[in-house]
Structure 1
């Protein structure tokens, strides 16, 4: 099991370029993580990282090893989880609901990967930005941003510490002044999400010095589909206020730019919601863990 931990430390450090971040994620000391990497390098007889005072980058040998190590580690970790849960073969139908952006662009390929591991699992997926009624709708589980207003529901955290992002395309910014603070949004076209009859036009921010701010924007375009709002932003139609997951790839690729970064937008944690604890079957727990692992990789990548 020591080798499995060393491989996990290696892959995590390669993803985030930081020993300290890996140590925090695994609840280890930086010294312990560093020692584990040195043991692995000693066992392999090669140097995997080039180290500096602030960053770590893979050597050529490290890149080659990572390409083969990552899939092997996933198989070993899944085998360990299967033994612990006694569910070597998950099976059954899972009826789930997810927001349009997250569901279409992230969750859908993750479900495909989960199904590749567990081919006896079938999914019935609803993509909707409306919060499914777990009690009456044909849904077993819903992935949602933020805790549900119904306190009787059970919300299992999948990703915390995630916030919304104020963003726009380079094309839009080329023809409009860059907003320096959220106060400047009054002079811009804003792309808003609509829930039912309510337009989400109050955008909230906070600063490190403790100052908080709620800005009521004037909507230019409005949709009840979060993916439509994102597509408008990509097309240069205005500024959007999106959950980070929904635009992470766009930001990394430069298709969108984050704005007013001295301010932090409101929190947007991701939860898996079920009707009660008894609904958390081993299959749903396994799915939650699988999605949480994919989320962790996405966060580490950026």
Structure 2
């Protein structure tokens, strides 16, 4: 392009809807503004505006060109700011899928902090316990517990040592007693999580290197992790939840851990995407932020 100023005049003309308005805003003569538009049209070979003596209307080509001009000038401004301050300005749209329980009760507030640090990132969130199809759905990355079912997906650990916690409310324990070992879960009302058509109704534990698998039953099953936690808090049964989901309730005594001398299932918390090329600066910044925030959160007194 002959001049960045011509691009700025074009953008301002589109914003004002008139050459005279753009000229006044930029302290130019109408003739100078008109000449800038003519230079741009000659260079790219298409009309940007349809003019009459009283009206100015942008062409379809002009509307297309406008979006690219705005992005180009924004990138230039970001580059100037990065050079001047020594910091990189991250601008992107992140489409993120995350689980319902930890998403609503923990991550949403943290993501507000993240956006405060990166105000030019736009966030689009899907809250669901179903693993989003990162190949077909409009999702860049997913935050999920456990290893991805598709081995071709890329899983980056955010909390690799996260485990499940067997827990119930004090009211449930007072009413129905404490299971002394996982085998006694068969005598209790167990609150189960369902993913798709599969009910997580077989719970695994380890002690002295030996694994046991207990088939549990209960009168409540949900495909929403937050619903399972609410039932546990209401004293409706025993839950086998991710520690990350229930750490606040364990800390304040609304839930109590059970069978603590048994090792529980690993459920690592991962950032998942389809291709490493999706690790844009925005995704990398989010990964670093969440990794640090999770570590801080789990070690709070």
- Asked whether the two chains share a fold, i.e. TM above 0.5, the reply is yes
Take 2:286 and 2:132, find their aligned partners in 1: how far apart are those partners? 19
Partner of 1:262: 261
Off by >2 Å, runs of 4+ in structure 1: none
Query: What whole-Å deviation, never above 9, does each CA across 1:18-66 have from its counterpart, x for those lacking one?
Result: xxxxxxxxxxxxxxxxxxxxxxxxxxxxxxxxxxxxxxxxxxxxxxxxx
- Offset, 1:283: 0.9
C-alpha root-mean-square deviation of aligned residues, in Å? Answer: 1.4
- Judged with a 3 Å threshold, the aligned counterparts in structure 2 of structure 1 residues 283 and 162 are, in CA distance, closer, same or farther, namely same
Partner of 1:243: 242
Take 2:246 and 2:167, find their aligned partners in 1: how far apart are those partners? 9
Unaligned runs of 5+ in 1: 1-81
Partner of 1:56: none
Aligned residue-pair number: 218
- Offset, 1:278: 0.4
Tell me whether 1:124 sits opposite 2:116 in the alignment.
Answer: no
Partner of 2:290: 291
Does structure 2 conserve the Cα–Cα contact (< 8 Å) formed by 1:193 and 1:200?
Answer: yes
- Offset, 1:87: 5.6
Does structure 2 conserve the Cα–Cα contact (< 8 Å) formed by 1:87 and 1:282?
Answer: no
Partner of 1:89: 89
Query: What whole-Å deviation, never above 9, does each CA across 1:150-178 have from its counterpart, x for those lacking one?
Result: 11111111111110000000011110111
- Judged with a 3 Å threshold, the aligned counterparts in structure 2 of structure 1 residues 213 and 87 are, in CA distance, closer, same or farther, namely farther
Take 1:266 and 1:301, find their aligned partners in 2: how far apart are those partners? 23
Take 1:87 and 1:153, find their aligned partners in 2: how far apart are those partners? 31
Partner of 1:280: 279
Take 1:202 and 1:219, find their aligned partners in 2: how far apart are those partners? 12
Structure of higher CA gyration radius: 2
Take 2:91 and 2:124, find their aligned partners in 1: how far apart are those partners? 14
Q: How does 1:53-64 map to 2 (within 5 A)?
A: none
Query: What whole-Å deviation, never above 9, does each CA across 1:63-109 have from its counterpart, x for those lacking one?
Result: xxxxxxxxxxxxxxxxxxx99xx763222210000011111111111
Secondary structure of 1:218's aligned partner: coil
Take 2:180 and 2:90, find their aligned partners in 1: how far apart are those partners? 51
- Offset, 1:219: 2.2
Tell me whether 1:157 sits opposite 2:152 in the alignment.
Answer: no
Take 2:87 and 2:281, find their aligned partners in 1: how far apart are those partners? 7
Take 1:150 and 1:245, find their aligned partners in 2: how far apart are those partners? 24
Q: How does 1:163-202 map to 2 (within 5 A)?
A: 163-202=163-202
Unaligned runs of 5+ in 2: 1-81
